[in-house]
Structure 1
Amino acid sequence: MRTTFHLKTLAVAIATLSVASMTNAAGLDRSGQDVTAFFQDGTYAEAVYTYIDADVSGYDSANDVPTNNTYVRGEKTGDIAESYDFFRYGVKADINDTFSVGILYDEPFGASAEYTGDSNFVAQNDRDATITAISGGAIGPNSPLGVNSFAQAQGTVNALQGILANGGTLTPQQQGALTALAPAVAITQAEFDTAGDNTKVEVRSESVTALLGMKFGQNKNFQVYGGPVAQRIQADTALRGTAYGPATGYTSHMGPDTDYGYIAGIAYSKPEIALKAALTYRSEIDHDAKTFESYPAAPILSAGALPANQSGTIEVTTPKSVNFDFQTGINPTTLATAKVRWVPWSDFVLTPPLYNAVSKSSGRYGDDGLNLVEYDDDQWQVELGLAKRVAPALAISGTVGWDSGAGDPTTSLGPVEGYYSVGLGAKYNVTENWAVSAGGKYLWFGDAKGQLPTGKLVGDFQDNDGYIAGLKLSYQAK
């Protein structure tokens, strides 16, 4: 005899798991781009608030020489992860028993980090100490070049550049001194000019997805769905401190840009056992955003070919993704769920034009130069959950999750390699149609080394964690 789990008996349990679920650590992933609101029965609407507080700290590298990639444990960085919050909204309605429409809003991608304290991710004002550190002792006390201070190095550079400016020529020894001293002076001055400033990054995005679904099959068990996606993104980055070598003092502002992509998927449902399964694809979205960059050391590093400030356009492609959502009734009061997400972060790069041009001018990084942000691996995420109706209007839920991260070493602006998580949630039906859900999740972040685009290791981040809290208000009429 077949067991039938009427969906109404499980309705109080459905959606308790998504309050604080699929919130990510890999790459710039945040919301998980959840679409499960569209699969709810009848007319449905939800508003979800999520708050994330992470503790990400470690040690900088005591090796400040830009051309030496060896990591040497240095000073504590303090907590670099900024707490942040975001909203998600969804509305869905059935036109008839075949067609459904929906609108979803979320904030899919983002980053928020800032270094504070006395680590070498914060610009300092001691020019003699800075130039000694970045030169590996070649400039400073007991200098093999005979240059013992920043002032002496700057005076030498000014004198040699003056000879060239007046049409003179340099001896091989003078040219060697200029080649060695000029970058060190430029880096040190850029550090001094931004003294007290912190390294920080802020990325924000918004997305609106319109969905049209069509059910088919003998019992309308199958559904295809899709629609356009509008996405807006902006970013600010400031690199400070000797950790960034020639790039210390670099600042970029990517203005807000809106562009479009699409979503498509297929779903299957079997209401008698509360089974729903959906496979959803989101396309890449290409942005051409106006950007302003400031790179104080650029003129000297490029031998005068590049400016210190530049406005232009940056091309950014947010990654495609695939989500698999599954739920099924285990018994008339218990629901099991599974979520799997894949994002190819290994395809993502952020390449500001001036930053890239300076790296090309050095001749050390090939014809393509350096990207400011890139990742080695694709992200995989899995989350499993159970929801149990414990009273006519109350259900509780639990989840366990794993996120692969996007590689280690990774960018110093987000030094985490995935996480493991556990979560708890509850949903209370205030009336027949209105419900309130609350949930929380604890995360153990994977250890990671922070790495510059040059390959230099500048930080080691271990034993970090965080938590997520969420609140949802939902309405459903069947």
Structure 2
Amino acid sequence: MKRVMTSMAALAIGAGAAHAGGVERSTQSVGILFEQGNYAEMSFGAFNPDVSGTFPTGAESGDMAPGYGTLSLGYKQQLNDQWDLAVIFDQPVGAKVNYPAAANTGYPVGGSNATIKSSAVTALVRYKMPSNISVYGGLRSESVSGKASLYQGGANYYNLDTSEETDFGYVIGAAWEKPEIAARVALTYNSKIEHEFDAKETAGGADFNTNFTTTVPESVNLEFQTGIMKDTLLMGSVRWVHWTQFDISPPVYVGNPLLSGGEPLVDYADNTITYNLGVGRRFNDQWSGAIMFGYEKHQGGTVGNLGPTDGFKSVSLAASYQATSNIKITGGVRYVDIGNAKTEIGPYTTDFSGNDGWGAGLRVGINF
């Protein structure tokens, strides 16, 4: 029964790519530490948003948020009765922005595009103490790079291309379990990671070699689950991210008011709290299913043109199939109602509303 319940808790993670505050692409879950015995997994996710806005003149931006994919890998080794080791690969932050050309839409910033790419490897150890309490922690190595090209009225007026930088942070946490009812509460802190980039900025037909620092913010995860009746599990998470620590402020861009108005290329005025709550159910020895609801508060105000979303509501459906005694396949789909947002272009305000997206995910896990 414990193994079945642990399997069902994993459905929440396998229900598609994340869509949350800032440029987040991974929830940095430590759930793999609680798998039984030795365990390995591979997960693929895809998310296809539809995000567009309307300028006061009536010009439509067109869909400026292309779809993207995610990959994660995990390995957990039980060293002995008290110690576990896990290694996780994921893509914690990312962005993909591509406004259709102004010649096709008439939208003032048409043609503007940006990408952020990342990858991270996290090594964790867990120590089991008396009274079903455990502590865990480790190090994260994170690599990040980015590009941006800004257009106004069909003309390219600024470009940014950064180096790929690898830096380190840490993870600490504690958990309590009650195996008889498949209960577990895990609280995890992920430190901020500062990256100092070498960059090439292009403005006014000239190239500038510069550098600047960006912080991928700290976060706190609360993950929980408990059996509420036979073969039925209540599960969820609360995730806080300190997004006001994050900004992209290349010196040439920020230092020229004609380019930026003195504002960062990207920054966030508010931190975010993301909630997920769902129920999993074991149907028989092979099949389990789950439904999960997600929510992130709409903050209001204006947001940047390279990220015109604000909050969300979501629902996920997932199913898990125990293919053999040690191979488990989990798949899911997710619908996201993307929160309405407003952006500023000069003295004007663009309205982004009625946007949504679909995600899907597949995870294969092997116990050995």
Asked if TM exceeds 0.5, the reply is yes
C-alpha distance in 2, partners of 1:22/1:341? 16
Q: Which residue of 1 aligns with 2:115?
A: 202
Alignment of 1:52 with 2:36, yes or no, is: no
Residue equivalent to 2:352: 461
Percentage identity across aligned positions? 33
Contact 1:45 1:474 in 2 (8 A): yes
How large is the RMSD of aligned CA atoms in angstroms? 2.0
Contact 1:316 1:349 (C-alpha < 8 Å) held by counterparts: yes
User: Unmatched 5+ residue regions in structure 2?
Assistant: none
Give yes or no for contact 1:47–1:474 (8 Å, CA) kept in 2: yes
Deviates more, 1:36-45 or 1:93-102: 36-45
Residue ranges of structure 1 left out of the alignment (5+ in a row): 1-5, 61-71, 124-197, 298-307
| Among 268, 274, 280, the residue aligned to 1:381 | 274
Aligned counterpart for 1:109 among listed residues 86, 90, 93? 93
Q: Pick the structure with more strand per residue.
A: 2
1:254 aligns with 2:162: yes
- Give the aligned partner of residue 305 of structure 2: 412
Cα 1:450/1:229, change in 2 over 3 Å: same
Shift in CA distance, 472/230, structure 1 to aligned 2, threshold 3 Å: same
Q: Deviations over 1:419-463 (max 9, x none)?
A: 1001100000000100111001101011101236xx744521110
The runs of at least 4 aligned residues of structure 1 exceeding 6 Å deviation read: none
Instruction: For 1:32 and 1:336, locate their aligned partners in 2 and report how far apart those are by CA, in whole Å.
Output: 19
TM-score of the aligned structures, taking structure 1 as reference length: 0.73
Amino acid at match of 1:326: F
SS at match of 1:449: strand
Corresponding position: 1:327 with 2:222? no
The CA distance in 2 between the partners of 1:374 and 1:344, in whole Å, is: 12
Q: Give the distance between the partners of 1:93 and 1:407, measured in 2 at CA.
A: 45
- Structure 2 partner of 1:143: none
Answer with 75-84 or 31-40: which moved more.
Answer: 31-40
Report what 1:194 is aligned to: none
Q: Is the 8 A contact 1:436 1:471 kept in 2?
A: yes
**1:200 corresponds to which letter in structure 2?**
N
The match for 1:119 among 106, 110, 114 is 106
Matched residue, 1:224: 135
Contact conserved, 1:338 with 1:385, CA < 8 A, in 2?
yes
3-state SS in 2 of match to 1:30 = coil
Question: How far did 1:12 drift?
Answer: 4.4
Partner of 1:309: 207
Aligned-partner Cα distance in 1 for 2:202–2:252: 8
1:439 aligns with 2:332: yes
**Structure 2 vs 1, CA of residues 356 and 122 (structure 1 numbering), >3 Å: closer, same or farther?**
closer
Q: Note if 1:284 corresponds to 2:180.
A: no
The 3 A distance-change label for structure 1 pair 406 and 34 is farther
Secondary structure in 2 matching 1:15: helix
Q: 1:11 to 1:260 in 2, by over 3 A?
A: closer
Matched residue, 1:318: 216
**Structural mapping, 1:238-253, within 5 Å:** 238-242=149-153, 248-253=156-161
Could you say which residue in structure 2 is the equivalent of 1:173?
none
Please state how far the C-alpha of 1:279 moved relative to its aligned partner. Answer: 0.5
8 Å Cα contact 1:378/1:406 also seen in 2: no
Judged with a 3 Å threshold, the aligned counterparts in structure 2 of structure 1 residues 214 and 311 are, in CA distance, closer, same or farther, namely same
Q: Partners in 2 of 1:21 and 1:36 — Cα distance?
A: 16
Residues in 2 aligned to 1:11 and 1:33: alpha-carbon distance in whole angstroms = 18
Once residues 244 and 4 of structure 2 are traced to their aligned partners in structure 1, the CA distance between those partners, rounded to angstroms, is 43
Query: Residues 317 and 274 of structure 1: is their aligned pair in 2 closer, same or farther, counting only changes over 3 Å?
Result: same
**Aligned partner of 1:425 among 282, 297, 318:** 318
Instruction: Report the AA paired with residue 381 of structure 1.
Output: T
Cα shift at 1:122? 5.1
Q: 1:360-402 deviations in whole A, cap 9, x for unaligned?
A: x99x96xxx3211111111110000111111211001101110
The number of residue pairs the alignment matches comes to 365
